[in-house]
Structure 1
Amino acid sequence: MPHPDILTRLWPASAVRVSAGDLELRWIDDDLLLELADLAGRGIHDPEAMPFEHPWSRGSADEIARSVLAYQWGIRNRISPEAFVLELAVLHGGVPVGIQGLTAQDWPVLRSVTTGSWLGRAHQGRGIGTRMRMLALHLAFEGLDAREAMSGAFVDNGASNAVSKRVGYDRDGAFHVAREGAAVVHNRYVMSRERWESVRSDHTERLGAAVELHGIEGLRAQLEPVPPGAGAGQH
């Protein structure tokens, strides 16, 4: 098996970890991915609900698990200045409980991230969703020097809307999104850097420990624009 130092050197994003107390966000390797896929297959939401724009969480346990595998394998290489999709496993007490993602477009110019996440049903209702969002925001603002962070949720997704409000986002309007053949109101939230600075101490108190960042310098370098002509002759 390749030494992990080789992977870190070639793909710095693989070394990213964000932790506070018993909660950790970590790069998803294949071992973690299998556990997370199995977790998703055991259920994320009530059968009659649909918190996602694309209904990947419908189907049998194996179908849902395969959707998780296919999606994660498909986006793993999407770490670049032009656009990135950084999906991190959420571990509570060392146990995989869900996924927290950050995405961005035109990162060097906009420095704006959008968060998305899911938790296995067995781990919901325990405050983990709030704390993992706080870790994601710390990664975005402290680790990556983001200007703003966006989030959103369907109007009927009470838990996700509550997390955004609890964490301290400002409302940023609403719009209709097609979901399973119907137009559904989708609430949008924004957290500016200034707003995050004002609630940062509250987040630390809620997390119960200082946030620790690992592997961030490598990720920041991976997201830096490549100077013109630097890649010439590589293809």
Structure 2
Amino acid sequence: MSAATAVPDQSVFAPPSRWRGLVRRHSTMPAVLAAALLATYLWVRSLALDDIEGRSLNPEHLLQVTRQHISITAMTTLLVVVIAVGAGILLTRPTLRWLAPFATALANIGQATPAIGLLVLLSIWLGIGATTALIGLVAYAVLPVLRNTIVGINQVDPHLIEAGRGIGMSPLAVLVRVELPLAVPVILAGVRTALVLAVGVATLATFINAGGLGGLIVTGIKLQRDPVLITGAVLTGALALTLDWLGGVIADLLRPRGLA
């Protein structure tokens, strides 16, 4: 029997290098977050909570405000991606490229405005509630995705675009099959930034009666209840880091092969 038949090909059983690299790069954060959440839980359980702390840290209440926070953040991110990526694509087309500086400046106004001031002004105009908070969060988080979409598409090698056109691809096919895949890493970096911004600013939504984890933080500060304050802060930070971690994993999975 030859050596080729006697020894099985080990590469068949080994995981692809891409998956090994993915696990190596992204395995630390879940362990750190789990440890932080467990430590917070054990610390709170060791305390003698009063009635206010007990009601605020009730598992059902924590689940409710966390779900509200995730819902606001998810809707914000979805709208930001649809609006900013769509606008970024249009602003990189030759006929509309001259509008890019004006659109970026307009988006910059939303982020330059203090978040709490923006939410208060919108609540005066539109009333309080989740819809107003959503509009304010979209205005605040749209800049990173819009800017990165424009930069990511504009940095694609023009020779690759010309090569696509040279083999008979339509402008839409060049966009979908050449420009967007090569711009994905830059665009997703902007989405990760927008996600973290949305989680942080969403804590302020509690001031306009939109719910979320900000209620725990405000309650802890106003009533001087450290367990409530720390729990709200830890949950908010853990949610932001979790979404950033997920964004990193997705960015690595969607990164075109051959790109560093």
What's the TM-score bracket when you normalise by the shorter of the two chains?
A: under 0.3
Larger-Rg structure: 2
Structure with greater helix share of residues: 2
- The alignment's TM-score, normalised by the length of structure 1, stands at 0.25
Structure with greater strand share of residues: 1
